[in-house]
Amino acid sequence: MGSKVRNIRMTQTKQSLINAFVNLVSEKDFEKITIADLTKGAKVNRATFYAHFNDKYELLDYILGDSASAAIVNRTKGEVKFDQDTISQLVLALCDFYQQPNIQCRSSYVGLVVPQMKDKILNELKVFLSQSLEHIYTNDEKNIYVPIFAQVIHEGALQWAVGSTVMSKEEVAKRVSLFVVSGFQSSDRTLS
């Protein structure tokens, strides 16, 4: 079998497992979902599941990571740069990510999924910011600024997502991007 056909089949199988998981989480608590439930829903055998994932936790991790990455790419159109518009789009990407999780959370998922969502989106955000600041800061400087910028962007989006502000997500994005860019410009002046 050619590698292209194998890759398409693997992608389709993974998507079937993801779809089965998404369908099951609306019906069952995470702890009660079994591999048998997933394989039945995806119409694959147990060995096929284990060829893709070690367990249901790895499947959840994959779903959240893929969703986080997609949210950022969708808003930034894959263009990696550090300016006010891009920072604004990153805030909106995080709002999108928190607004539309692939998992319609039952109350039993909140403790499991929300911390994992935060970790995934922060990691993706740090990767993006690190790449966008590649030619601006040294590695030591990036090690300081990237986590700070990521936390500010994340916190702005999270405040909107949990309803802690009456501002629209666009207004939050505008204010956070102004704050981050002005902090960036201030730090840049002090380095000169």
55 SS3 class? coil
- What is residue 64's predicted lDDT score, i.e. its pLDDT? 82
Round to the nearest angstrom and report the end-to-end CA distance of the chain.
58
Its pTM stands at 0.75
Per-domain residue ranges for the chain? 1-53, 56-191
Angle between helices 3-25 and 56-76 (to 10 degrees): 100
pLDDT of residue 162: 83
The candidate with the shortest Cα–Cα distance to 147, out of 117, 126, 121, is 126
Nearest to 95 by CA among 142, 165, 180, 23: 165
What is the reported pLDDT for 188? Answer: 57
Q: What is the CATH number of domain 56-191?
A: 1.10.357
Is the domain spanning 1-53 CATH 1.10.10.60? The answer is yes
Burial 22-43 (b: 16+ CB within 10 A, else e): eebbeeeebeebeeebbbebbe
Which residues of the chain, if any, have pLDDT below 70? 1-10, 100-113, 186-192
pLDDT of residue 110: 55
Q: Nearest Cα to 26, choosing from 114, 108, 97?
A: 108
Dist CA 156 CA 165 (whole Å): 10
Q: For residues 128 and 141, what is the distance between their CA atoms, to the nearest angstrom?
A: 16
Six-digit token pair at 2? Answer: 């050619």
